[in-house]
A and B are shown apart, each in its own frame.
Chain A
Amino acid sequence: MTKATAENHNKELNRLLNKRRLWNFFLAIIIIIGILLSSSVVDVDSSRLLNGLPRLGDYISQILPQLDSQSLFLNSQIEGSLSYWYFNLPKYIKLLFETFNMALLATILGSTFALLLSFLAARNTSPNSFLYYLVRRSLEFFRGVPEIIFAILFVWALGIGPIAGIIAMTLHTTGSLGKLFSEVHENSDNKTREALKASGGNWFSEMRFGLLPQVLPNLISYALLRFEINIRASTILGFVGAGGIGQELYLVINFNYYEEVSAIILMIILTVVSIDLFSEYLRKNIIEADND
C-alpha cells in the first residue's frame, strides 16, 4: 500500500467514524428530548415515585402468603399451610381450564378464518384487486384493535361470560394471523402455482397444491405462537367480564383478598410458562421435520 492510499484509507475511516458519532449524538439528543417531553406529559414526579415504592413493597409483602414451615402440609383450617393459601384451588383450576379453552378455541377458529381469508389478502394470490384491498384492510383493522376493546363491546352485546372473550380473541387472531399468513403467501415461490395454472387447474387447486404445501409449516408455527399470545390474553379478558380467570383476579385484587392474589398469579404463571415450553417444543419439531 502506498502512503497516499493509506492516507485516503484513514480519511475514509475517519469520515465513517465521524458519521457514526454524529448519529449516536443525534440519537442521544432525541432520546433526552423524548424523556423530558414524556415526563412532563405523564407527570412523573420523583416524590410520587419515591412515596409509591414503599407502598409497592408493602403490597407485595401483603400478597405473599404467610407460610409456616411447621404447618406447611396441614389442612386448610390452619393458617400458614399450603392448603390454607390455596383453599380455593378447585375454583382456580376450573377457571384456568376455562381460560385455556377460550384461548384454544379462539386460536382454532381464528387461524381457520385467517387461512381462508389470507389467500384473498395476498397480492399474488388474490383473484381480484378490489377483493384484495377490502380483505387486507379489514384484517389490518381487526389486528389493530386490541382484543380487550372488542371484549368490552361483546360483553355489552352478549352479556358477561367467556363467549364474549372468545369472539373478541377470534376476531383479533383472524386479523393478525390473516395478515401474517398473507405475507407468507406473498413471499412464497410462484413456480408451483404456475405449474398448476399451466395445467388448467382452477384457483382452488392452485392454492391447495401450488401454495399450501409450501407454506403450511410456516403457518402452523405462526398459529402456535398466536396460541401462546392468546393464553396470556385470555387471563386478562375477565377484567372486563369476558370470562376466564381474569374475572376472579380482578375481584381479589380490588377487594384486597391479599393472599389469593399471589395464589392466582402463581397459577397463571405456571400455566403460561408450561404452555410456552410445550408450544416451543412443537414449533421446533415442525421446523426440524420441515428440514428433512
Chain B
Amino acid sequence: MRSLTIKNLKKKFKNVNAVDGINIEINEGKMIGIIGRSGAGKSTLLRMINRLTDPSEGSIEFDDTKVTSLKGRALRKWRSECAMIFQQFNLIERLDVLTNVLIGSLGRNYSILNLFGIFSKEEKISALRNLERFDLSEKALQRASTLSGGQQQRVAIARALMQNPKILLADEPISSLDPKNAKRVMDDMRKINREDGITVICNLHSLEVAKRYCDRLIGLADGKVVFDGSPDELTLEISKELYDLDND
C-alpha cells in the first residue's frame, strides 16, 4: 500500500510560521479531515502537498517520489495526480461546464489542439461520464456561471476526476455552501473515496461534518499537529483546545 509521508514540514510567511514542523503519514484510500481554526495552517498544508505553495523546510514523499523536489514536467504530473478543489470552486465562469471538466485532462495528455478548445471524442465521453456520476450531464453545455454554488463545486469534483487522481485535496469545499448543498458535496466526495479508492484529504471548518464523514482527523493549531486519530478519540477537551473555545 502506498502512502503520503510528510516530514518536519514548515512554511514561513515573513516571520510567522504558518506551518510549523508537521509529521504525518497518510495511507492510500482513506478519507482524512484536517480540522482547526482559520489561520491554523490547514490551507497552507494542502497547498504545499499540491506544491501550489513551496515549503520552507521539510519534505513530502509519495511512495518513492520525493514530491518536494519535483520540477517542470514531473511536478505537473504530480499535480495532476493529486487533484485539488477550492472553497470558491474556481471554475472558468464564462466557459461551458463540459470545457471546465475537460480542462482536468490537460495535465495528463496535453496537445496543442487543446489550446484551440478542441478535445478528442474519448476525452469528451469520459468528461460526460464524470458529469453523469454527479447528475450534471444535462448541464454540459451551460455556462458555468449559471450553475448554483453546489453544482459548481460538483463540476469541480468532476474536473478533478478527469485527472485520474490518486489523491483529492479539498480546501474548505463546503464553506461557501448552504447545508443542503454541503451535504451533497460531502456525500459525493465520500462516494469517490469509497468507489474509486481515491485518498481524500479535506480541510473542514465544521467539526460536526468532519466527524460524520472522515476516517481519521488531524487537528492543527498554530501550524502544529495537536490531534491525530479517529473521530471517536476526539474528546470534548481536545476540540475545545483546537478551536480555542475558552478564549472566545
With A191-B86, A199-B84, A199-B163: A213-B106 Cβ-Cβ less than 8 Å: no
Q: Are B115 and A213 in contact (CB under 8 A)?
A: no
| CB 8 Å contact bits of B73-107 with A (1 = contact, 0 = none) | 00011111101101010111111000100011011
C-alpha gap A196/B159 in the complex (Å):
10
The answer on a CB contact under 8 Å between B76 and A201 is yes
CB of B108 within 8 Å of the partner chain: yes
Q: How far is the CB of A221 from chain B (nearest CB, A)?
A: 15
Interface residue SS majority, chain B: helix
Known: A194-B52, A204-B115. A199 touches B92 (CB 8 A): no
- Give the interface residue-count category, chain B: 20 to 34
> Contacts A192-B92, A194-B52, A205-B110 known; A199 to B86 CB distance under 8 Å?
no
Contact of A201 among B81, B95, B106 (CB under 8 A): B106
Q: Nearest CB to that of B171 among chain A residues?
A: A198
Number of A-B contacts defined by CB within 8 Å: 73
The answer to whether A205 and B77 touch across the interface, beta carbons within 8 angstroms, is: no
A220→B99 CA distance, assembly (Å): 22
Which chain B positions have C-beta within 8 A of A200? 76-81, 106-108, 163
Does the CB pair A213–B92 fall under 8 Å?
yes
Task: Number of A interface residues at 8 Å Cβ cutoff, please give it.
Answer: 19
Asked if A199 meets B104 with Cβ closer than 8 Å, knowing A191-B86, A192-B91, the reply is yes
Residues of chain B contacted by A198 (CB below 8 angstroms): 50, 52, 79, 83-84
Question: How far apart are B127's CB and chain A's nearest CB, in angstroms?
Answer: 13
Q: How far is the CA of A276 from the CA of B201 in the complex (A)?
A: 55
In the complex the two chains form, what is the Cα distance from A213 to B103 in whole Å? 13
- Nearest to B103 among chain A residues (CB) is A209
Q: Which residues of B contact A205 (CB under 8 A)?
A: 103, 106, 110, 114-115
A152-203 residues at the B interface, CB under 8 angstroms? 191-192, 194-202
* B160 at interface by CB-CB < 8 Å: yes
A195 and B91 contact, CB distance less than 8 A: yes
Give the docked Cα–Cα distance between A209 and B117 (Å): 9
Q: B76, B80, B94: which contacts A213 (Cβ < 8 A)? A: B94
Give the complex CA separation of A191 and B78 in angstroms.
20
Q: Which residues of A contact B103 (CB under 8 A)?
A: 196, 199, 201, 205, 209
Identify which of residues 203-233 in chain A touch chain B, using a CB-to-CB cut-off of 8 Å. 204-205, 208-210, 213-214, 216
A202 and B91 CA atoms in complex are apart in Å by: 17
Q: Is the CB of B163 within 8 A of A194?
A: no
Looking at B91, B93, B106, which has the most chain A CB atoms within 10 Å of its CB? B106
Residues of A in contact with B (beta carbons under 8 Å apart): 191-192, 194-202, 204-205, 208-210, 213-214, 216
Beyond A191-B88, A195-B156, A199-B79, 4 additional pairs, beta carbon < 8 A: A194-B90, A205-B103, A209-B99, A214-B92
15 A-B Cβ contacts within 8 A?
A191-B90, A192-B90, A195-B86, A198-B52, A198-B83, A199-B83, A199-B103, A200-B76, A200-B78, A200-B81, A200-B108, A208-B115, A209-B103, A213-B92, A213-B94
The residues of B with any CB-CB pair to A shorter than 8 Å are: 50, 52, 76-81, 83-84, 86, 88, 90-95, 99, 103-104, 106-108, 110, 114-115, 156, 159-160, 163
